[in-house]
Each structure stands twice: as structure tokens, then as C-alpha cells.
């Protein structure tokens, strides 16, 4: 398996689920792979990193969020990239539409978070995506390019980057774009990366209502380097099917 499959548990799970699911994933050839990344709630990452060692697992861990502040200090409730790095976290999801919309994360906050991840040697999974009204008005490509342009403000050296295209209208709705619509945006992101980030290894993911039934078709699009999976990643059977594409 060469594509990247990222599980975003969002604010779900329990200690028992972490123990059971990680044991199941480490026992299966399709999921015990470095291309499988589990983005668990931060509170479960210490346990997950212990299990990773105990189970000799190959899959990787991601955080769903990171503080925009790097230095320890008076930031009640925040968790820094340095702290996450102590628990074998390799990736950080940044710019998810839920963080942009519910927590009002602006471009400058997202940029700080990307730089915090990079400073600690972690790979950002930067999410972009338009809402239904932009899609219906057919001006979603300008909007997506605008979201991508934030990446041009990164001042730190950048070698690896994951960009996830997650149309908001497809997240948690059971509606997915057509394969042509997915391919159109994958190409747009690849071209942007080739033009403006030529020295960076960029992987482009699709996210939004991916499940065991549609993953095969989506992952067979040549421009899709992987998928970001929300709801279906909470069910071992469904997620294992996706990883066995
Ligand atoms: C997500 O929110 O990142 C996501 C892809 O969710 P779902 O798979 O449930 O649509």
C-alpha cells in the first residue's frame, strides 16, 4: 500500500476503544502500515504511543490540533507541538473546516500552527474545502487557491506536506463528489504545488464521506495520494476495508 490513509476520530473514542482498535490494526497486514495514520483525540495519544511500542506497530499517530504557541507559558488549555512530539506524533491536522468554522481559526492562526508543527519536525495535514454555496456558484476554485496561498507565507524550511481537499458539503453527509470532480481539485492542488512549492514533497488527499464501499473507486484515481476518513474510521471493519483498497 503506497497511499496515505488518515483516520480522524474527531471527539470520539474511549480508552477501551483505543486499546481494542489499535490491537486490531496492529494484527492486520492492511492496517499495520506506515501509510496508515490515526488522528486520535489528544488525551489518548500517550496511551496510543505506548501501545505503538508494545504492539510493535507500523502505523503512525497524528494530532487533530496543536497550539499556535511554541513556547511553554500561560496558555490555559493549550497543547504545544513540543508536547505532542513526546508521544510519537508524526502528523498534525491543521485547518480542518470544523476548526475554521466552529473555533474561528483564521489564516494567521493556521499559519502559526503549521510553523509550530514544522519546528518540531512534524508533517502538517493542511485541510482546504469549499462550502455548498461556493460549489453551486461555481467559484470554488478561486476560493481553494486562496486557501492554498496561505502555504506561501510559511517561513520555515518545508520538505513534506500533506494537503487534504475536504469539500464541506461532503463531510459527514454521505454525499461525495463525482470522481471527475475529485480529480479536478486534485489536479488543481498538484499544479499549485508544482508551481509554488517545487521542492516540497506534497501528498494530496481527498476527504468527505469516504467509507468501505466508495474508497476503492476514490483511491484508484491516479491524482489521489490518499484519503482522510472521519466517521468510517471509528469502525474497525469499515476502516480496515478502506486500508485494504
Ligand atoms: C472529516 O471530517 O475529516 C471527514 C472526512 O469526515 P467524514 O469522513 O465523516 O465525512
SS3 letters across 53-76: HHCCCCCEEEECCCCCCCCCCCCC
Q: What residue ranges line ligand 1, CB within 6 angstroms?
A: 8, 166, 171-172, 207-210, 228-232
For a mutational test of ligand 1's pocket, the pick from 40, 170, 208, i.e. the residue with the most ligand atoms closer than 8 A to its C-beta, is 208
Question: Any catalytic annotation for residue 96?
Answer: yes
pLDDT confidence band for 31 (50 / 70 / 90):
very high
Question: Any catalytic annotation for residue 149?
Answer: no
Taking CA atoms only, the protein residue closest to ligand 1 atom 3 is 230
Q: Which residue ranges form the domains of the chain, and what is each CATH number?
A: 4-243 (3.20.20.70)
Which value, to the nearest 10 degrees, does the dihedral of the CA atoms of residues 131, 137, 141, 144 take? -30
Alpha carbon 199 to its chain centroid, in Å, reads 21
pLDDT at 245 over 90: no
| Distance from the alpha carbon of residue 100 to the mean position of ligand 1, in angstroms | 14
Alpha-carbon span 31 to 29, nearest angstrom: 6
Alpha-carbon span 61 to 156, nearest angstrom: 23
DSSP type of residue 123: E
Alpha-carbon span 29 to 142, nearest angstrom: 41
DSSP type of residue 34: T
Angle at 227 between CA 224 and CA 233, to 5 degrees: 165
Cell output for 110? 493556521
- The mean pLDDT of 76-88, rounded to a whole number, is 97
**Predicted pLDDT at 1:** 54
Angle at 143 between CA 137 and CA 149, to 5 degrees: 170
Catalytic residue among 78, 86, 96, 115: 96
Cell output for 244? 485494504
Taking CA atoms only, the protein residue closest to ligand 1 atom 8 is 230
- Indicate the pTM of the whole model: 0.97
| Spatial contact of 75 and 67, defined as CB atoms under 8 Å apart | yes
**What is the chain's mean pLDDT, rounded?**
97
| Distance from the alpha carbon of residue 188 to the mean position of ligand 1, in angstroms | 21
For a mutational test of ligand 1's pocket, the pick from 231, 235, 239, i.e. the residue with the most ligand atoms closer than 8 A to its C-beta, is 231
Amino acid at each position: 500500500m503506497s497511499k496515505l490513509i488518515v483516520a480522524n476520530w474527531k471527539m470520539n473514542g474511549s480508552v477501551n476503544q483505543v486499546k481494542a482498535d489499535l490491537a486490531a490494526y496492529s494484527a492486520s497486514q492492511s492496517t499495520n502500515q506506515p501509510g496508515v495514520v490515526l488522528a486520535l483525540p489528544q488525551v489518548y495519544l500517550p496511551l496510543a504511543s505506548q501501545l505503538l511500542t508494545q504492539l510493535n506497530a507500523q502505523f503512525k499517530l497524528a494530532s487533530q490540533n496543536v497550539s499556535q504557541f511554541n513556547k511553554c507559558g500561560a496558555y490555559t488549555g493549550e497543547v504545544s507541538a513540543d508536547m505532542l512530539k513526546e508521544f510519537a506524533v508524526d502528523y498534525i491536522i491543521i485547518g480542518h473546516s470544523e476548526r475554521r468554522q466552529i473555533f474561528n481559526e483564521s489564516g494567521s492562526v493556521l499559519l502559526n500552527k503549521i510553523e509550530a508543527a514544522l519546528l518540531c519536525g512534524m508533517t502538517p495535514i493542511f485541510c482546504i474545502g469549499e462550502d455548498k454555496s461556493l460549489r453551486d456558484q461555481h467559484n470554488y476554485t478561486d476560493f481553494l487557491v486562496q486557501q492554498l496561498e496561505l502555504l506561501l507565507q510559511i517561513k520555515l524550511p518545508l520538505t513534506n506536506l500533506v494537503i487534504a481537499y475536504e469539500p464541506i458539503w461532503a463531510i459527514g453527509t454521505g454525499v461525495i463528489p463525482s470522481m471527475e470532480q475529485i480529480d479536478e481539485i486534485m489536479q488543481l492542488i498538484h499544479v499549485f504545488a508544482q508551481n509554488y512549492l517545487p521542492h516540497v514533497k506534497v501528498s494530496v488527499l481527498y476527504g468527505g464521506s469516504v467509507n468501505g464501499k466508495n474508497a476503492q473507486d476514490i483511491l484508484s484515481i491516479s491524482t489521489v495520494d490518499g484519503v482522510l476518513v472521519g466517521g468510517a474510521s471509528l469502525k474497525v471493519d469499515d476502516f480496515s476495508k478502506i486500508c485494504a483498497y
